[in-house]
Amino acid sequence: MAVAELYIADEIRSRLPEKALAEVAAHLHKRDCQTCGKPLGDKAPALTVDDGGPFLSAMLHHQSCRPSGWYQLGSLVAGAHLSWTSRFFTLPMDDDGALDPRATFIVCPHLEAVHLDQDGGDGWTVNTGRHWRARGFRPMGRELVVDKWVADQTPPRARLTGSTIQIDAGLDGQWSSSADLETIKACRTHNGLLLGVSTAFEPVAATGPNDVLYYGTAGHIFLGWVPLT
Ligand SMILES: [Zn+2]
């Protein structure tokens, strides 16, 4: 779930417009404090912004661990406490009238942190989509090719062991998820899976095809076909 309540320091409010703050809150998910690693719990987390010059890193902490504020990047080693969630299921696809589901792996690669840059031409905006586009992933729609990897970049590696899929996206993370028989079968049949990356939602137990359609058509999931290795 996107964060509903946040401590936001005045300096952050003076440097980021309301629109950027709303987007950040929608792409952050309350799990663990990025300072101590313990659960954020019921209280409102503190939003911190680390200023890296051309990019900003927005993160969640306990207000008592690292108060909300605008910091210069370098004061914190980021990433040690980042959480991810994923789900692996089938997505129905209509191939000339025949239903032929594809195995689909949806991941939120970092729940408690997100990066912003100004490369979108609209001030500071969350760069998840731009980052994954640069890695060869595309939003749902005519740009997306299913059943083969078409980008020049090397795709992440995917290995199926029993009913568990393991995805290795290098510096972007390693994720795994187990799946039901239908998903495993679809993955074997097509020798690959549709990998979808998003920070706009956190995959939970109930996550399924409807979420892919909802967030996908809104342009919030970046997808690519990853062959099994
Ligand atoms: Zn803490």
Domain coordinates in residue numbering, the chain: 10-72, 85-227
Whole-number Å distance, alpha carbon 202 to ligand 1 midpoint, is 21
- With bands split at pLDDT 50, 70 and 90, how would you rate the model's confidence at 58? very high
Region 43-60 average pLDDT: 95
What phi, psi does 60 have (nearest 5°)? -110, 140
Rounded to the nearest angstrom, the distance between the alpha carbon of 52 and the centre of ligand 1 is 22
**Residue 209 pLDDT:** 92
Q: How far is the CA of 35 from the centre of ligand 1 (A)?
A: 5
Residue 166 and residue 211: Cα distance in Å, rounded? 22
Ligand 1 centroid distance, CA of 77 (Å): 14
This prediction has a pTM of: 0.94
CB 115, CB 57: distance < 8 Å: yes
134-156: buried (b, 16+ CB within 10 Å) or exposed (e) per residue? ebbbbbbeeebeeeebeeeeebb
Q: Please give the angle made by the CA atoms of 207, 209 and 212, to the nearest 5 degrees.
A: 85
For residue 99, pLDDT over 70 is answered with: yes
d(CA 185, ligand 1 centre) in Å = 42
The DSSP line for 94-138 is EETTEE--EEEEEEES-SSEEEEESTTSSSSEE-HHHHHHHTT-E
- What spacing in Å lies between the alpha carbon of 81 and ligand 1's midpoint? 10
Ligand 1 centre from 72 Cα, in Å? Answer: 19
Structure tokens at 169: 């996206």
Dist. CA 130–CA 138, nearest whole Å: 10
pLDDT tens per residue, range 161-210: 999 999 999 999 999 999 999 999 999 999 999 999 999 999 998 999 99
Residue 214: alpha-carbon gap to chain centroid: 15
Amino acid found at 35: T
Give the burial class of 170: count Cβ atoms within 10 A of its Cβ; 0-12 exposed, 13-18 middle, 19 or more buried: exposed
Q: What percent of the chain has pLDDT over 90?
A: 90
- For 1-18, how does the pLDDT look when each residue is reduced to its tens digit (9 = 90+)? 578 899 999 999 999 999
CA distances from 27 to 20, 157, 168 (A): 11, 25, 22
* pLDDT given for residue 78 in this prediction: 64
Distance 3 CA to ligand 1 centre (A): 16
What are the backbone angles phi and psi of residue 132, rounded to the nearest 5°? -75, -30
Residues 106-126 have pLDDT tens digits of 999 999 999 999 999 999 999
Q: Mean of the per-residue pLDDT values for the chain?
A: 94
Tell me the helices (H) and strands (E) count for the chain, helix number first: 5, 15
Distance in Å, CA 91 to ligand 1 centroid: 38
Separation of 32 CA from ligand 1 center, angstroms?
Answer: 8
Interval between CA 69 and ligand 1 midpoint (Å): 15
